Amino acid sequence: MIETWINKEFITLNLDVKTPREAIEMASEPLVVAGRIELEYINEMLMNYKEAGPYFVLMPNVAIPHAQAESWVRQNSIAISRLKTPVYFGNKANDPVKYVFILAAVKGEDHLKALSFLSILLDDKKFFEKLEDAKNPDEIITYIDSKRKEALENV
């Protein structure tokens, strides 16, 4: 499930960006390089931000940009960036953003299981400690993997 969404190439630590636009573009870049999304998907996320505002800063310090443009998504993916310097997106309750999770889901599939697992991660303090302290993407992948196994056992 989730292991097909995230791989270590999609994790960027200490991303050096100054604006929300840069953060969304740069955090998405590995997905473009890997052929998971088309460039248009990035434009759609930026458009969504421009039109609807920063509602996708869903919890303190965490932005989860996404768009309803699934035709530009080739394969279900999540890219994770830790920002070198927090960036203000304009969300009063949850600014500044330190972590960006780019969410790209293929249309017409059932994503409930994968997103339920993402929800478990978002609610996991240890995951964010790991994200904060990790020296390389492998540490984060290893943690996600152990969490995934734990979640499977508890079902």
Pick between residue 84 and residue 95 the one whose CB is nearest to another protein: 95
CA distances from 151 to 7, 41, 54, 79, 90 (A): 19, 31, 30, 21, 34
Binding flag, residue 86, another protein (CB under 8 A): no
Binding flag, residue 80, another protein (CB under 8 A): no
Binding flag, residue 105, another protein (CB under 8 A): yes
Rounded Cα distance between 4 and 49, Å, is: 27
**Number of residues binding to another protein, judged by CB under 8 A:** 29
**In this chain, which of 70, 74, 127, 148 binds another protein, going by CB under 8 A?**
70
From the CA atom positions of the chain, what is the Rg in Å? 15
**In this chain, which of 54, 81, 83, 100 binds another protein, going by CB under 8 A?**
54
**In this chain, which of 112, 135, 153, 154 binds another protein, going by CB under 8 A?**
112
Q: Is 108 left (phi over 0), alpha (psi -120 to 50) or beta?
A: left
Rounded Cα distance between 106 and 70, Å, is: 5
Binding flag, residue 103, another protein (CB under 8 A): yes
Rounded Cα distance between 78 and 30, Å, is: 10
Interaction site with another protein (CB under 8 A): 48, 51-56, 58-60, 64, 66-68, 70, 91, 93-94, 103, 105, 107, 111-112, 115-116, 118-119, 122-123
